[in-house]
Chains A and B, each alone.
With several copies, the nearest count.
Chain A
Amino acid sequence: MSKSLYRDVLLDHLRHPRFSGKIEPADRSASAYNPLCGDELELTLALEGNCIREARTQVRGCAVCVASASLMGELLQGVSLSQAETYGALFREAMTSGELSSKDIFSLRPLLEVRKHKSRVKCALLAWNALEECLQNFQTTS
């Protein structure tokens, strides 16, 4: 039986979340919370200049939330902050339009399946909300 939302990639990330955990001390951190389901997530970043040396997420949430955080984690290692910001914008756009406009975030493709389930879109975005907050903090404090 094919359970449409839970493709192999997502399930793999759920079972083996990449870059999970918490960097201590972190250069930047942000939490996100989904009041609907109680999902909670913390993103911590270690920086080197304008680059993300390491990004980790600690998640208490559903499969979509865990997989999305894990996929984001893979993407963020070693990229510049402005690159991270672009990824975030591209992903949000893709979640709205259903189209991936850049090959850079091709790895996030399995998450687009979530678009069919409006109530779960927030779960997919939770990690990215935390990223946005990290980057905002950055801009105002740097």
Chain B
Amino acid sequence: MPDSLPMARIPDSIRQDFPVLSRIINRHPLAYLDNAATTQKPQSVIEAITRFYETSNANSHRGVYALSEEASELYEQARGRVAQFLNAPDTHQIIFTRGTTEAINLVAYSWGRSRLQPGDRLLLTEMEHHSNLVPWQLVAEATGAELDYVAVTAEGHLDLDSLASQLAKSPKLLAVTLVSNVLGTINPLRKIITTAHDHGVLVLVDAAQAVGRVAVDVQELDCDFLAFSGHKVYGPTGIGVLYAKTEHLDAMEPWQGGGGMIAKVGRDRSTWGEAPAKFEAGTPPIAAAIGLHTALDFVERLGVAQIREHERDLAELALGRLLEEPEVTVFGPRNPAERTGLVSFALAGVHPHDVAQVLDESGIAVRAGHHCAQVLHERLGVDATVRVSVGVYNTASEVHRAVDVLAEVRRLFL
């Protein structure tokens, strides 16, 4: 098989934007194939953070002096950039959080605690990441609501019959991932959300694995809530986003209290500002928000459609090669059109951690474990899997290298 893809959608020169990619790990050039956990950061993002600290650092929102106005402006421009990227109708619908996890917790507390009653149902799916599962367990425990799960089929799709029968129970909310972080499955959310809305069910979308990898348009999806993390889309750690429909934001009580989210504070009670301020208590991660702005610029410059094709091509290559490997079971859809650039597999008789360790000894970084999806792994009948996940800078030869090492793994352990 040739080392490069039929058509180079993204030039290899992109790698020069990412200093970390030139590292040598265990005497091999680093092949970073853990992009579903976090992506590397292009020089432009790192520089945006440095530039902020070197020239405009101040607390946002509250100062009348020039520096603080600059910082506030940069922070709000980042919000505007996110709104535009997601095609949100209004900038005020973008709440900055630490990441996907905090965004979902925000909804679970602010929306969930006041709206759920004993006996109410919440609908999840078997493929949810713990971050879109545990917050709902906590709110269910606190309110007496009950959880149901949409089943996952053997090939790793949402079971639409299961979905239909669960929606018939009239849950208050469906919390569902757009892309599975283990199966790679791209769920047909546009259709699912329409059906859910027909049943009067609100929908929260976990877009952590989707933003920057497949097109995400909140108006087209018509989702009620959507969450993602900056660090998975070439941005910094410590920043994430909650998008929500204005009607929900207006009706929701604040979650965290503190500076910046108030209108007037009295001794016994206070009144709140409007969204997004209402949901952003305390000094925000200003520098990280600015870094996220630059990251979205980076993604848009490459083009989400190009990234999608690049990653799909690499996933197709990985899928094809892994399916030919002895003792290997691959999880998730067989059709590359139905999945993103991540492929999880198991090698019979070898623990995934040992597979990942041997790969690391050849400089190849992949993830092994339950990937924060224990319910899904139980469904798949394995404790853990090995996950290869690509980003814009990965090449066909890196995928080949990873699969080639499996022969060595078998030699060692089997």
Write the residues of chain A forming the contact surface with B, with a CB cutoff of 8 angstroms: 1, 3-6, 11, 14, 33, 35-39, 60-65, 117-120, 123
Contact = CB atoms under 8 A, between A and B. Distances in A.
Interface stretch (B133-141, B153-161, B231-239, B349-357): B349-357
Interface stretch (B56-64, B325-333, B340-348): B56-64
B69 A35 contact: no
Contact of A61 (B68, B351, B358, B374): B351
B369 A118 contact: no
B355 to A, nearest CB: 9
B412 A3 contact: yes
B370 A119 contact: no
A117 B263 contact: no
Given A39-B383, A63-B353, 5 more contacts: A3-B361, A35-B263, A35-B273, A36-B369, A119-B63
B354 A62 contact: yes
A119 B69 contact: yes
Given A11-B412, A11-B413, A117 B357 contact: yes
Contacts of B72: 118-119
Interface of B: 61-64, 68-69, 72-73, 262-264, 273, 350-354, 357-358, 361, 368-370, 374, 377, 383-384, 408, 412-413
Contacts of A35: 262-264, 273
A55 to B, nearest CB: 23
A40 to B, nearest CB: 8
B361 A37 contact: no
A62 B264 contact: no
A38 B370 contact: yes
Nearest to B64: A119
Nearest to B370: A38
Contacts of B368: 37
A5 B65 CA distance: 12
B73 A120 contact: no
A4 B358 CA distance: 9
The 5 closest A-B pairs by CB, nearest first: A62-B351, A62-B353, A38-B383, A63-B354, A35-B263
A62 B409 CA distance: 13
B351 A6 contact: no
A72 to B, nearest CB: 18
